[in-house]
Structure 1
Amino acid sequence: MRIKKYEVFDMKEAMKLIKEELGPEAMILSTRKVVKNNSFGLFSRPIIEVTVGIEDDERVINAKKTGVKTTAPAAANPYANTYKPQQFKPSVPEKSESDKITEIINTLGLNKFEGLVSDIAEIKRQMMEIKSGMKDSFVVDLSQPVLEFYNILLKNGVDDDIAYKFLKKIEKRAATGLTRNQVKNLSVQLLGDLIPMEKDYFSMIKQKVLALVGPTGVGKTTTIAKIAANLSLQLKKSVALITIDNFRIGAVEQLKNYAEIVSIPLRVASSPAELEKTIYELKDYEYVFIDSMGRSQFDNEQIGDLRKFLEVSPLIKVALVLSMSCNHAELADTYDRYSKLMPEYMIFTKLDETKFFGPLINLPIKKKTPVMLLSKGQNVPDDMELPDGRKIATQVLREIPSLWSDK
């Protein structure tokens, strides 16, 4: 058997090369994900190493070298020169229409297409099998105990590429003889430092206008109330609120109740021009927050309408609010659809409604957008905290996922 290795970025590319070079009889023996040392940094794209084998018939190999057809030799006949059987022509039955068509197909060489179709079908079948079992078939080249933490990160929702490339760096240090606990502590420290975050939103938004945007039901209004209450009651800052959510029944009334409790002004802007005017009138306040209308991430037209509001002043900064109770794939899709609003920060809410905190690592790293605030309940002004990278890392490195409030 001949063995050959391919290094590719995906299995589609691998199957094409294998078919072209070795033919449909080649067998995939193993696949594994590896990272080559290069200058592209921690999150460079990994490659797939595919090992392929094919059985070689020695007669076929020799025939290819000599150009001679490989046919079995005829058995020797000692009576070949002394005996000649009577020659006769058997009666040949008349060919049917189907036989005639078959003969034409063979004559023109069209029968070769049957084999080609069969080859394509077989390749398609193999690719479907590989795709269905792709994650299970990968052999991740990480040593123990680093491989153990790779599986834990995946279980907690961390992207496999991020987990693999990060732990590949940890593996180099683990090779010096670190214990399992030392590897875990090192992972918590370095992974926590890796997550982009805005740790001091109080000074970050000073003398600016912060607009909270995001889908319906993620907790934008409650989050604004928490921030405003902390700034006004605890830090004694001057705060003003603006709402442009005049479409949802009760939205203005809800924010009005919060504003009255903490004694801060609330203004309503029903158009971009009115919002621009209101921002100018509130210029003496240290902090101004805009509560926007909830918009489905799939409604491009309404997100476009919201963008018209946010473009009226260069003072407006945008924070995208995302709920941790959503499907993890949908969180990334929501960010992409709201990206036209150019969010500079992310706020994650409802941390108390999940045990899997992978998105707190995946989205900030992949989207290069810092986490500004975390929210885990409905209590105002409580149930809110500044992001702590090491706390996030600790949560995603737990063997048994647990709620955010657990210590």
Structure 2
Amino acid sequence: MKIRRFYGKDMRDVLKQVKDELGGDAVIMSNKKHADGIEIVAAYDKEPDAQIKPSPKPASANGANAQVSTPTLSEIIGDTGPDSLKALLEKQSQAALKQTEPSRPSQPTQKSHVASPQPLIAASGQESLALKEMRQELSSLRNILQFQVSGLIEQENNRKHPLHSYLVKKLLQMGISNSLAEEVVAYAPESANEREAWLFLLKLLANRLQTKPDDILSQAGVVALMGPTGTGKTTTVAKLAAQAAQKYGPEQVAVVTIDNYRIGAFEQIATYGKIIGCNVKKAQNASELSDLLYQFRNKRLVLIDTAGFGQQDARLIKQLDTIKQNSCVTIRKYLVMQANCQYRVMQQTIKEYRQVSLQGCILTKLDECYSLGEAISVAIENKLQVCYLTNGQKVPEDMQPADTKFLITSAAKLYKKFGLLHTDTNHITNAAVAV
């Protein structure tokens, strides 16, 4: 038995080498894919004429198994070789099916002289692995081609509509999502110059953004602030309570916390309550919350401070159920989100808290933002009204009702100030000079 290794840039090349050197009766033992191409191990019997080949006999009535031989190279690629990789895959697949086809069981009264099927199973497994690798390689090539084609299409669009492409790029640098940027730029007038088109897009974003300024303080009732951990819910509750106390009197304001997980949560809000002069209580469950809300039924404004959980935390569902189980009074729910958070994180946060009906959102930590486009995109795409903005830790000064013009103008200013730092590949000194 003669065994040789062959290397080639692809399967067709290496199979041609095998056939040219060993002939069409060579048997493929294994194949591997390397960084530089394909490696095949092939075997060939040097003395095929010396072997006595028994003439094939038809299967007897008792159903004895017929010995299945390993397919040769000629059986895999044919005498002239396949014209395409698809033909090669079809031939190898047919050979694998022939080897794995189960034979009829023999009768227990007679002994079967069929050779052990283990080598055939191993060869079949190797061919199946080769087919799997080929499919993966074809899939990878398809993805690369799709990427290249999309790049060519984008280049063609940039050539045909240079102003639109420039405006989309500016919006993306400002933090606006790709889908929203493409949507608003489609309305930009072709005849406008760069500055006119840019101002048009900012006005269009302002028209799309929904705000509900001073919604919480202007209406009496019960309000719950919800959101992930670290968004500033407790501080925002204190700011709202302080402003409501200044407007209506501290006796008209009450605060209830259901945050039973964070250490010192009640003590923190209780300290704010002593400074403001309003009542602060703690509820352990839905029943206690209902009792406290009934107790404070004559208050103008009752604020509920909730615990902060991650979007995948199971305790979040329990807390949402606690809010929904209350039936004695209608609770208006507002989502508190960090304005400096990632776009996908904010999208997932809204998705999780959509389980309860949200009346709007409060954007916090505007003073820590380098970009506001992400928060604006999330609010527009989810049609979520922005009610308040916070930009610091001072209670109650660092909070203001949401204003559309202020948000869009602030986003444009942040882009003008910091946009180049995120997109320029030059040294930091050059970027600082450009800003």
1:299-346 alpha-carbon deviations (Å, 9 max, x no partner): 1x2111102221113511111111133322211112212222332211
Match for 2:75 among 104, 120, 131?
A: 104
Counterpart for residue 222 of structure 1: 235
Match for 1:387 among 390, 393, 402?
A: 402
Measure, in 2, the Cα distance between the counterparts of 1:366 and 1:235: 36
Is the 1:191–1:390 contact (alpha carbons within 8 Å) kept by the matching residues of 2? no
TM-score by length of 1: 0.67
CA RMSD of aligned residues (A): 3.1
Counterpart for residue 154 of structure 1: 172
Give the drift of 1:120. Answer: 7.2
Structure 2's unaligned 5+ residue stretches are 1-21, 28-43, 45-70, 91-130, 420-435
1:352 corresponds to 2:367: yes
1:283 corresponds to 2:304: no
Measure, in 2, the Cα distance between the counterparts of 1:192 and 1:234: 30
Give the drift of 1:349. Answer: 1.0
1:189 corresponds to 2:160: no
TM-score by length of 2: 0.63
How many residue pairs end up in the alignment? 305
Give the drift of 1:227. Answer: 1.0
Q: Which has the larger radius of gyration?
A: 2
Structure 1 range deviating more: 355-364 or 271-280: 355-364
1:17-36 alpha-carbon deviations (Å, 9 max, x no partner): xxxxxxxxxxxxxxxxxxxx
Counterpart for residue 121 of structure 1: 137
Measure, in 2, the Cα distance between the counterparts of 1:322 and 1:135: 35
Counterpart for residue 104 of structure 2: none
Give the drift of 1:136. Answer: 8.9
**Which amino acid is 2:74 matched to?**
E
**Which amino acid is 2:76 matched to?**
I
Aligned to 1:240, the other structure's residue is in SS state strand
**1:182–1:269 Cα change, 3 Å:** same
Measure, in 2, the Cα distance between the counterparts of 1:102 and 1:259: 86
Q: Aligned residues: percent identity?
A: 25
Counterpart for residue 284 of structure 2: 270
Is the 1:372–1:386 contact (alpha carbons within 8 Å) kept by the matching residues of 2? yes
**Which amino acid is 1:229 matched to?**
A
Match for 2:262 among 229, 240, 248?
A: 248
Measure, in 1, the Cα distance between the counterparts of 2:224 and 2:148: 43
Counterpart for residue 79 of structure 1: none
Structure 1 range deviating more: 109-118 or 248-257: 109-118
Aligned to 1:397, the other structure's residue is in SS state helix
Higher relative contact order structure (alpha carbons within 8 Å, sequence separation ≥ 6): 1
Match for 1:207 among 209, 220, 226?
A: 220
Structure 1's unaligned 5+ residue stretches are 1-92
Measure, in 2, the Cα distance between the counterparts of 1:126 and 1:339: 38
Q: Which has the higher helix share?
A: 2
**Which amino acid is 1:159 matched to?**
S
Is the 1:229–1:262 contact (alpha carbons within 8 Å) kept by the matching residues of 2? yes
